[in-house]
Amino acid sequence: MSAQPLNGRRVLVIGGALSDLAKGPLDGAILELGGLDRLIGVGLADADLIIIDADAWGGPALAAGIQALALCPAPPPVLMVGTHLPTAVVRNLLRIERSDVLDAPYSHENIAAAIEALLASKPANPVVAPTGDVARCWAVTGAVGGSGATTIAIEIATELCNRSDKDKSVCLIDLNLADGSAAAYLGSSPAMRLGDLGRSVDKLDVAMLQAFITPVTKQLDLLAATRDPLAFDSVPAESILRMLEVACDTYEWVVIDMPRHRRAWTVQALSGCDEILVTSELTVPALLAARSLSDEIERDISSGKKPRIVLNRLAGRMFGPAPSMAEAERALQRKAEAGISSDWEAAAASVNLGGPIATHRPKSKIVKDVQVLVRRLAAEPALRDGKASRAA
């Protein structure tokens, strides 16, 4: 084993008896001692390696702990050591990617070799870090509540997946930290732990980001947090901006479901976006709000990008000579970028079934309208200069 490979690495030791390894194979590591409950939701933000002392726990408790570990989206590598290990527990452990077992008798050298092999192994399905290119990043924000920002962000992300042949090409990020609905609309479980995100600004890298990700399809990853009324106050702006930066270094496309109310990080995040879409309904208050919000964004961001207004839930009559559309544009004092048809049945069916409208109602006009929008925006040149401003 090379000299002190664990120097400065965080090792979570489950079962205190193993702390005597600190002077041997764990030399130089930052040790955290924990119980089996520490395995619930554990990820790379918590530890670089987990070592479990199987002898410290009864069979049923150990089995439950391993099961909890197996449910984690991206657990750290794990080594279990013990005497007469229960076969069922061992089999469950070995189903976890990057895991190993040592049954007694074993030496410190055996442990050191197992640790070295675990740390050297890469996850089979890592977040793809594409070639140093920076993602194209589009943000969607609503002029008024309920105007369809989340729906349109999801459909845009889905259409971008259709246009790419790479796995893990698109990341949808729900920055409505307090009460985002993207995960619920997609029928997925949010995996971003805001406490860990807040603490890990210096350490956040591609591997750690993976611990926060919910894979939705082979191509689409979701970054979303569980509801937390205090989230906007508890997560520092630097952490959000760092997360966006890492996501943009990792994916081909990043789509942000952006909260309507301004946060400490809003202007910097929007300054780094290639496109900013403001969704509005066709009501006078919504159109006036869309105009004000677009003006504010344009005034404050550094990229000089003009937000584009997307009129959502257009009823059939809007597709004629469209006096209402003309009136809308008069109220907006600018042209609308696109219109998205109204289709309540398709929108409701997809959220109730969990998944994009493009999956559950692929013939919906919403899907076609989003395709047209994405095709047009994707043909625009990417914003390159703005990327630097995303960094904290």
Ligand X SMILES: Nc1ncnc2c1ncn2[C@@H]1O[C@H](COP(=O)(O)OP(=O)(O)OP(=O)(O)O)[C@@H](O)[C@H]1O
What does the binding site for ligand X look like in residue numbers (CB under 6 A)?
142, 145-151, 176, 181, 312-313, 340, 342-344, 347-348, 351, 366
* Cβ at position 251, least distance to Mg ion in Å: 21
Give the nearer residue to Mg ion in terms of CB position, either 150 or 217: 150
The radius of gyration computed from the CA coordinates of the chain, to the nearest angstrom, equals 24
d(C-alpha 291, C-alpha 314), whole Å? 18
* Sign of the torsion formed by the C-alpha atoms of 24, 29, 34 and 38: negative
d(C-alpha 224, C-alpha 40), whole Å? 18
Binds 340: which of Mg ion, ligand X, none (CB < 5-8 Å by kind): ligand X
Binds 343: which of Mg ion, ligand X, none (CB < 5-8 Å by kind): ligand X
Give the nearer residue to Mg ion in terms of CB position, either 69 or 172: 172
Give the nearer residue to Mg ion in terms of CB position, either 145 or 323: 145
* Cβ at position 43, least distance to ligand X in Å: 27
* Cβ at position 89, least distance to Mg ion in Å: 42
DSSP line for 330-372: HHHTS--SEEEE--HHHHHHHHHHSS-HHHH-TTSHHHHHHHH
Binding site for Mg ion (CB under 5 A): 149-150
- Which residue, among 340, 172, 307, has the nearest Cα to 244 in the 3D structure? 172
Give the nearer residue to Mg ion in terms of CB position, either 180 or 386: 180
d(C-alpha 45, C-alpha 154), whole Å? 27
d(C-alpha 240, C-alpha 258), whole Å? 12
Binds 358: which of ligand X, Mg ion, none (CB < 5-8 Å by kind): none
Binds 148: which of Mg ion, ligand X, none (CB < 5-8 Å by kind): ligand X
Give the nearer residue to ligand X in terms of CB position, either 99 or 150: 150
Give the nearer residue to Mg ion in terms of CB position, either 36 or 223: 223
d(C-alpha 294, C-alpha 335), whole Å? 12
Binds 366: which of ligand X, Mg ion, none (CB < 5-8 Å by kind): ligand X
Give the nearer residue to ligand X in terms of CB position, either 25 or 142: 142
* Cβ at position 149, least distance to ligand X in Å: 4
Binds 35: which of Mg ion, ligand X, none (CB < 5-8 Å by kind): none
Q: How far is C-alpha 379 from the geometric centre of its chain's CA atoms?
A: 25
Binds 344: which of ligand X, Mg ion, none (CB < 5-8 Å by kind): ligand X
Give the nearer residue to ligand X in terms of CB position, either 164 or 181: 181
Binds 266: which of ligand X, Mg ion, none (CB < 5-8 Å by kind): none
* Cβ at position 149, least distance to Mg ion in Å: 5
* Cβ at position 260, least distance to ligand X in Å: 6
* Cβ at position 236, least distance to Mg ion in Å: 23
SS3 readout for 62-110: HHHHHHHHHCCCCCCCEEEEECCCCHHHHHHHHCCCCEEEEECCCCHHH
Across the chain, the runs of DSSP E, i.e. the strands, are: 10-14, 30-34, 49-53, 78-82, 99-103, 136-142, 170-174, 213-215, 220-223, 253-258, 275-280, 308-314, 338-341
Peptide bond before residue 105 is cis, with ω within 30 degrees of 0: yes
* Cβ at position 224, least distance to Mg ion in Å: 11
